[in-house]
Structure 1
Amino acid sequence: MGRVVQPFLLLEDKVGNATLLFCTTYPAASTASTATALPISTVPTTTRIGADYCFLLYIYKKMNNRVQDTSTDAWVTPRRWLASALDIIGKIWHGYEVIGIEHIPEGPGVIVYYHGAFVVDYIFFVARLYTLTGRHIYSVADNGLYLLPGVRSVLDLCVCLKGNKDECVKILKKGHLLGIAPGGLREGNFSDENYNLVWGKRTGFAQVALQAKVPIIPMFTQNLREGYRTYGKISLLKWLYEKTRIFILPIYGGFPVKFRTYIGEPIPYDPDITAKELAEKTKIALENIRNRHQKRPGNILRALLERFDKYHKEN
């Protein structure tokens, strides 16, 4: 049975960067009164998979008396389950590919990516990297999601952070990767099929990279806006976001378009550059990747046909 997707409740994190999404769905034949809140990890037709996994993971934790620290060996098996499941879903529904994974450094680094209506491409990438290398990517998640037991277990398992800039720097200095979308919720809401970056004057990610003395790795996913789109052009919705930063966002899609994530060459640490200059340099690098691999404005039909490589935009 099909599922109807209700508006998504989106909350901005402390750093003002990466955003995770939450939604309400219900079977198409039922009424809104039967709606349940489900964490989004992939396309609308498979949201139940994410909810079921949250529940099973919570039960697994309680029955086996697993410790809260999900970085221990006790959590290796469920983490592999989750990564494998997400990787398979990405391959089946979007023919998901990663180009340039060799640009991910062996040491620490800040992965800066374009924020679509969904960050599902980023989730697929995190799963793919873990499946291939066993490496984690720390990501910033909204505090509100940690209030839900099952969802909290999944976020912990995916090594998400609730933290601020100091915590991000600490993670990087330990040798880990950190994923940040500078555009955050504003970009997710109000960018469109032209894929314009909506960063404003944000330089927090650059400050973190400079303080930790690590490179920045730009990342962009082709056809992301053709998979999921928003109604961000509605002026009332923009007004609500600017006033509240707590946003009920209508969203549509889940189209099985081709997703290719392109990873650019790292921007090395430079002690002589300012955070503002580094942010601009990163923005230009990300825009260059977009311009090489994304036809603009995006087109859903073309993106669907790219599953068969007939309309693949070459370098």
Structure 2
Amino acid sequence: MDAPLASLRRAIFRLAEQGAALSALYHRARLLGTEHLPLQGPVLLVGNHGVWGYETPAFFHLIHQSTGRYPLGLAERGFFRIPLIRTVLPWLGGVEGTRENALTALQGGALVVCYPGGARETFKRSQGRYRLCWERALGFARLAAQTGVPVVPFAGLGVDDTFRWPPGEERLCVRLSADDKYRMPLVVGMGPLPWPVRLTFAVGAPLEPPPPDASESRLRAFRDTVAASVRRLLTRSAHA
């Protein structure tokens, strides 16, 4: 990488760090269960995504504050068809969510964050608040089985309350692709800012991965176990 591009990358990263810290402050964000976050070695965090994925910078900021580690996020693959995002997102700790990238990251000892619901949770409607869209998600279970890395479940509370869906929400959307997967709802905040709700992120105890030769049914059972853990964390966090 040449010097001007490296300087630009550092400047954008610093700006993003400052933005993430401000977001965490604005939302009085807190991270519970930090004892379940290892300070070194590979770890796969799996949890729910908020509307527009807005909460992610604050979450990553809290993880870095707690552990000194910069998380690596597995981002929705479709976003990497957009030239600017394809260039900038890796500078900010996001990589295309392919199995190869995930394997490389975990084998390198990274703290990897995975949102199995992907765009289906990011672009949810109001009736989808805090509902996991993991029915077709087995990638993280296969990844855990292949690498032998435990899965650490987490839940984000408040992440679906930072924006509101206005009346007529079914009509107020931007279609980013031919299918409904990339229909981005138009949501509103408090004027130019998101609603100042508190963001709470709760981390659960690690779950042992399935064996490398696990059958499809066993992988599905593991996925459902992780999903159940996330739902329990959501419930507990609501009363914490």
Q: Same fold (TM over 0.5)?
A: yes
Residues 126, 136 of structure 1: 8 Å contact kept: yes
Matched, 1:212 2:147: yes
Which residue number in structure 2 is paired with residue 13 of structure 1? none
Q: 2:221 aligns with which of 267, 271, 277?
A: 277
Which residue number in structure 2 is paired with residue 264 of structure 1? 204
Which residue number in structure 2 is paired with residue 289 of structure 1? 233
For the structure 1 residues 206 and 215, does the alpha-carbon distance in structure 2 shift closer, same or farther, using more than 3 Å as the test? same
Q: Which has the larger radius of gyration?
A: 1
Tell me, what secondary structure is at the counterpart of 1:225? coil
CA distance in 2, matches of 1:199, 1:65: 38
CA distance in 2, matches of 1:232, 1:144: 31
Which residue number in structure 2 is paired with residue 247 of structure 1? 183
For the structure 1 residues 82 and 170, does the alpha-carbon distance in structure 2 shift closer, same or farther, using more than 3 Å as the test? same
1:243-297 CA distance string (max 9 Å, x none): 3533242112310011111111111234275321210110110011112123xxx
Give the CA deviation at 1:126: 1.0
Matched, 1:116 2:56: no
CA distance in 2, matches of 1:173, 1:63: 29
Residues 227, 256 of structure 1: 8 Å contact kept: yes
Please, what is the CA RMSD of the aligned residues?
Answer: 3.1
CA distance in 2, matches of 1:292, 1:131: 23
Which residue number in structure 1 is paired with residue 102 of structure 2? 168
CA distance in 2, matches of 1:191, 1:153: 31
CA distance in 2, matches of 1:192, 1:276: 25
CA distance in 2, matches of 1:97, 1:117: 18
Q: 1:95 aligns with which of 28, 50, 55?
A: 28
Matches within 5 A, 1:113-262: 113-141=47-75, 142-145=79-82, 147-148=83-84, 151=85, 154-188=88-122, 189-190=124-125, 192=127, 195-230=130-165, 243-253=179-189, 254-262=194-202
Residues 21, 58 of structure 2: 8 Å contact kept: yes
- In structure 2, runs of 5+ residues without a counterpart are none
Which residue identity is paired with 2:89?
L
Residues 169, 209 of structure 1: 8 Å contact kept: no
- In structure 1, runs of 5+ residues without a counterpart are 1-60, 295-312
Residues 125, 185 of structure 2: 8 Å contact kept: no
**What TM-score, normalized by structure 1, do the two folds share?**
0.62
Which residue number in structure 2 is paired with residue 299 of structure 1? none
CA distance in 1, matches of 2:187, 2:129: 17
Give the CA deviation at 1:88: 2.8
CA distance in 2, matches of 1:205, 1:251: 29
Number of positions where the alignment pairs a residue of Structure 1 with one of Structure 2: 225
**What TM-score, normalized by structure 2, do the two folds share?**
0.79
1:125-166 CA distance string (max 9 Å, x none): 112223444312221232034x12xx5564222221124112
For the structure 1 residues 242 and 201, does the alpha-carbon distance in structure 2 shift closer, same or farther, using more than 3 Å as the test? farther
